[in-house]
Amino acid sequence: MAKVLILVDEGVEDREMAYPYYRLQEAGYRVEVVGPERGKTYTGGRGLPFLSDLAPDDVRVDDYAAVIVPGGKAPDHLRTIPRLVEIVREAVERGKVVAAICHGPQMLIEADVLRGRRATCAPQIKTDLKNAGALYSDEPVVVDGNLITSRFPPDLPAFGKAVVEALARVPAAAR
């Protein structure tokens, strides 16, 4: 069974964490959660608890078909953890599906993987996205090769569909 990694920290946007977590399980993927600490329960902005299965040093990028970065307040802290930024950068460089929604693209900015790539994000960070060299587009979902971005919770159906479709295009041997 192919695995997908989702990043978590305090203040994650609950819907952007829960929707892909369950949608990808429904599609047949094993979903693992990584946060700053293994075994810690992080509380989403709306109060939902999310348990981290792994710490950053437990992650081997090649074990995953995709990395998902939900938004909310979590990415602002996650981007200060070098190993988590490295995980995102490695995933992009190795052609893994990397999907970020809302404030999640802050991790893509920190990983310096947006130059010349099409992307979208929460309106509050679109200037940051542009300053990182991205070609900003105000659309529900933007797919640029292995990179998938969305704006906010109402875009979750389009985001989930794009992630599942991108994963279906990954050769079985690479999952």
- Report d(CA 59, CA 36) in Å as an integer: 12
Q: Are 119 and 162 in contact (CB under 8 A)?
A: no
- Report d(CA 32, CA 19) in Å as an integer: 14
Catalytic residue among 103, 117, 126, 151: 103
Q: Are 13 and 70 in contact (CB under 8 A)?
A: yes
- Show the tokens assigned to 26: 């429904």
Q: What is the DSSP letter of 174?
A: G
Strand partners, 97: 66
Q: Reply yes or no on whether 77 is catalytic.
A: no
Report the Cα–Cα distance between both ends of the chain, in Å, rounded: 8
User: Would you name the residues annotated as active-site residues?
Assistant: 103
